[in-house]
Amino acid sequence: MDSIADELFRERLYFKNAIPIDARSFILKSESSQTHRDILIKQTNRTMSVDTTILERQIDGVFCTDGMLHYSPVLRRVVYVYYYRNQYILADTNLARVNRFRTIDTTSRARIKVSIIDSDGSTTLGVPPVVVNRRSCVFGVWLFIQSGLVGDNEDPNDLSRYALMDVYNLATHQYKFSFYLPFAGRNQLTSFAVFENRIAAVYGQHLFAYEMRPDAFWD
């Protein structure tokens, strides 16, 4: 059977990230042309609705709200994980019902410094930011977050050898467990995805598959 691509966006729309909700709609992360702050948009082939309140400003409204956009078809919830604070967000597909939850890290306010470039007035990060949540992935009701920081009872050198993964149940809003994902040789983790009880992890040009114990996810 042949597939025909249809035009979805009828107008010019700049976006930073997009996730499909179904065959005719997307959730987009964009930047307001008026405030220049990050916003979320639901776009269909007929309508566009904009939300300016879900991503809460702490400093500049751009870098401080930066994060990763996901979707759980099982829960029919949009998931947003901040990079620089200990929070993730659940919202329905209309961006109407919104709930906010804390991760096990203690960094509630983004530790970033924003600088203005004199030549063109644009902004940039003045110093390397403190990354709380480095990468994330959603599968079913499970949220996997690669932590950017170690806990008080952990060895700081561990982050040079392993990716520290924290797992949360999005249905119960609870932290479940953590585990270490070893780096492949000297290559650090660059991306990962979860399928059932398997993790596909990319280290530079290498792809590895790991299997997790299924009983780890039993409640």
Higher pLDDT, residue 45 or 106: 106
pLDDT of 169 reads 96
Arithmetic mean of pLDDT, 3-20:
70
pLDDT of 193 reads 96
Higher pLDDT, residue 141 or 157: 141
Closest CA to 68 of 56, 84, 53: 84
pLDDT of 133 reads 97
- Write down the pTM of the prediction: 0.90
**Residue environment code for 138-172, b if the CB has 16+ CB neighbours within 10 A, otherwise e:** bbbebbbbbbbbeeeeeeeeebeebbbbbbbebee
Q: What does the pLDDT look like over 53-72, one tens digit per residue? A: 999 999 998 899 999 999 99
Residue 34 pLDDT class (50, 70, 90 cuts): confident
Q: What does the pLDDT look like over 161-205, one tens digit per residue? A: 889 999 999 999 999 999 998 887 667 899 999 998 899 999 888
Arithmetic mean of pLDDT, 40-51:
89
Q: What does the pLDDT look like over 91-141, one tens digit per residue? A: 999 999 999 999 999 999 999 998 888 777 677 888 889 999 999 999 999
User: Is residue 1 pLDDT above 70, yes or no?
Assistant: no
pLDDT of 117 reads 81
User: Is residue 8 pLDDT above 60, yes or no?
Assistant: no
Residue 9 pLDDT class (50, 70, 90 cuts): low
All structural domains of the chain with their residue ranges: 17-217
